[in-house]
Amino acid sequence: MRALLILCFLIPSLSLAQVVNIESDRGGDKQGLHGNTEAGVSLQRGNVQVFQYQIALRGDYISGIHHSLLIGSTSYGEEEGNPFQNESYAHLRWTAMWFGNVGTEVFTQVQQDEFKLLTLRQLTGGGLRFTFFQDHLALGVGGMSDVEKIEGVEGHKIDARGTSYVRLGNEWDKRIKGQIIGYYQPLFNDPEDYRLTATGSLDFKVTKSLSVVNEMNYTYDTQPPEGVINDDLQLRFKLKIKW
């Protein structure tokens, strides 16, 4: 965790693209309906004209061992009037911890990213979830269908992928929350075709409902669409309002 603290303090506060991350607010067992809203805006006028925004909504409903969540996000950016970012996604998941620290999950997700030539990505799957040390450590493993529509390519591509994640998090003085999350998604029939995502974040609570968040996201795809580079590094500063 010390390394995470140092890393996040060194990261510039920028508002960039959203990486799909369903684990960021999974800690806790608050019952009923609750959620949060996140917003980030960047505006620069002068020698360079840049405008960016990102808005995300999340709702969680917890009833006993059952946890349902819905996440939606949209991000857009332009420079000198020319768009350079346009992406959005929605994710729905149900988790049931049937045996205390062991449970099941099912989920579905839709996503588009204009500048990665991704017209549509739809994921549907499920798996097992394990928690340890009062939920400071969480592991997930499962499988999913992966349907993709790439700009300029006829038809849809349908694959079967594995999906796994690990989250390590902690909270200090109920005001600072830090965590590291990693995702790994290989093709079942070709393990050399895989996607990785790594996220590190620090959440500074300003009031009971308002937090300031610094976040770093790194993604790597061994076989992206032609003309798209393999990896992305994204640094974000955002405000989060819990409700």
pLDDT of residue 7: 37
Segments in the chain forming alpha helices (H) = 2-10
Let me know if 198 is exposed, middle or buried by CB neighbors in 10 A (0-12, 13-18, 19+).
middle
C-beta separation of 126 from 107 below 8 A: yes
Q: Taking all residues of the chain, what is their mean pLDDT, rounded to a whole number?
A: 87
Domain that holds residue 186: 2-242
Among 11-20, 132-141, 218-227, the range scoring the smallest mean pLDDT is: 11-20
Token pair 């955002």 in the structure block, residue: 238
- pLDDT grade for 16, boundaries at 50, 70 and 90: very low
* 179-209 residue pLDDT tens: 999 999 999 999 999 999 999 999 999 998 9
Let me know if 219 is exposed, middle or buried by CB neighbors in 10 A (0-12, 13-18, 19+).
buried
**From CA 115, how far away is CA 128, in angstroms rounded?**
33
CATH number of the domain residue 212 falls in? 2.40.160.40
* 163-175 residue pLDDT tens: 999 999 999 988 9
Closest alpha carbon to 58 in 197, 211, 198: 211
Per-residue CA distances from 40 to 37, 52, 55, 241 (Å): 10, 8, 7, 12
The pTM is what? 0.82
What spatial distance separates the first Cα and last Cα of the chain, rounded to whole Å? 27
- pLDDT grade for 27, boundaries at 50, 70 and 90: low
**From CA 131, how far away is CA 10, in angstroms rounded?**
30
C-beta separation of 131 from 146 below 8 A: no
* 55-70 residue pLDDT tens: 999 999 999 999 999 9
Structural domain count, the chain = 1
Answer yes or no: is pLDDT of 8 > 60. Answer: no
pLDDT of residue 13: 33
C-beta separation of 180 from 200 below 8 A: yes
Token pair 């909270």 in the structure block, residue: 171
Q: Is pLDDT larger for residue 102 or for residue 156? A: 102
Closest alpha carbon to 227 in 151, 144, 143: 151
What's the token pair of residue 144?
A: 């999913």
* 82-97 residue pLDDT tens: 998 999 999 999 999 9
Full 3-state SS string of 8-55: HHHCCCCCCCCCCCCCCCCCCCCCEEEEEEEEEEEEECCCCCEEEEEE
Chain-centre distance of CA 202, in angstroms?
14
Per-residue CA distances from 9 to 26, 143, 183, 204 (Å): 23, 35, 23, 12
Per-residue CA distances from 62 to 13, 37, 59, 137, 241 (Å): 33, 18, 10, 19, 19
